[in-house]
């Protein structure tokens, strides 16, 4: 596959996947999901570590509103996040810059989250009458219900310091690249067989991600089926106005 939405490189037993939609804030499209899955599946049996990265300004800013008709069926994205939590490789999110909506899903699905001091995390869906339905099962696993509830209701970003206190981020540093290298130097020695057994066991300990999948997909479909919500999104795309803002005559 010739990748367009992501950049992929393999370094021995490590796979680096970088969002490559910088002009669109690294937003999520069907093509990005397909390319992501292809990259993960290609060397699933050889790779022991997967590192996910974005740009210095945006890690991933959620679904691409320009392709709003393509995100009514979120099952492939939910399954991608399930794969990050359960497949036989250690997943690391290296976060620089802003993370919003579905981008938080990528972060919460990873085993380890490393960030720099400028990282910001938000769930903006309720501003448009939508729900972070598919994100919440993964986020609650990370931070607990009340903190996920607070992020959903308030919609404004939280700092990396707050995210670290809430366990959304494991470690952060002004030189996050160095922090990432330190982790890779240690993690690369863990054998594939051990990772396979551990991920299988961890998935069994917390199987709610599988149990909640139908509820999450139903809730997501419901919010995107409401014409009023789609109109709010289209208005924001065309005019840059939030639902509560009035147009200037």
The domains of the chain are located at: 6-174
The pLDDT value given to residue 240: 84
Residue 125 annotated to the active site: yes
Describe the chain by its helix, strand, coil percentages, rounded to 5: 50, 15, 30
Structure tokens at 189: 């020695």
Q: Which residues contact 100 (CB under 8 A, 6 or more apart)?
A: 60, 61, 62, 121, 122, 123, 124, 157
For residue 95, give the nearest of 79, 110, 80 by alpha carbon: 110
The ranges of the chain with pLDDT < 70 are: 67-73, 249
Instruction: Round to whole Å and give the CA distance between 63 and 48.
Output: 28
The pLDDT value given to residue 67: 65
For residue 110, give the nearest of 152, 153, 151, 171 by alpha carbon: 171
Q: Considering 35, 64, 111, 170, which one is annotated as catalytic?
A: 64
Structure tokens at 73: 């069926």
Residue 246 annotated to the active site: no
Could you tell me how far CA 226 lies from the centroid of its own chain?
24
User: Top-level CATH class of 6-174?
Assistant: alpha beta
Check if the beta carbon of residue 53 is closer than 8 Å to that of residue 16: yes
Q: Considering 35, 53, 111, 125, which one is annotated as catalytic?
A: 125
The pLDDT value given to residue 1: 76
Q: What is the DSSP letter of 249?
A: -
Each residue of 126-162: pLDDT tens digit? 999 999 999 999 999 999 999 999 999 999 999 999 9
For residue 22, give the nearest of 9, 6, 39 by alpha carbon: 6
């Amino acid at each position: 596959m010739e990748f367009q939405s992501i950049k992929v490189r393999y370094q021995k037993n490590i796979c680096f996947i970088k969002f490559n939609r910088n002009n669109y804030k690294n937003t999520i499209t069907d093509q990005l999901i397909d390319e992501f899955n292809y990259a993960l599946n290609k060397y699933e049996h050889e790779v022991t570590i997967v590192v996910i990265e974005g740009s210095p300004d945006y890690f991933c800013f959620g679904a691409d509103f320009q392709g709003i008709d393509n995100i009514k069926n979120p099952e492939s994205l939910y399954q991608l996040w399930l794969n990050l939590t359960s497949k036989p490789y250690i997943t690391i999110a290296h976060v620089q810059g802003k993370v919003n909506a579905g981008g938080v899903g990528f972060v919460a699905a990873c085993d380890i989250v490393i960030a720099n001091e400028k990282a910001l995390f938000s769930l903006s869906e309720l501003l448009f009458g939508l729900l972070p339905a598919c994100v919440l099962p993964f986020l609650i696993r990370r931070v607990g219900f009340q903190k996920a509830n607070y992020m959903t209701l308030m919609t404004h970003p939280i700092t990396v310091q707050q995210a670290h206190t809430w366990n959304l981020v494991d470690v952060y540093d002004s030189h996050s690249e160095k922090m990432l290298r330190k982790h890779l130097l240690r993690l690369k020695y863990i054998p594939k067989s051990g990772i396979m057994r551990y991920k299988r066991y961890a998935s069994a300990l917390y199987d709610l991600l599988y149990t909640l999948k139908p509820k999450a997909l139903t809730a997501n479909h419901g919010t995107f089926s409401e014409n009023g919500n789609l109109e709010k999104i289209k208005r924001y795309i065309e005019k840059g106005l939030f639902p509560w803002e009035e147009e200037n005559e």
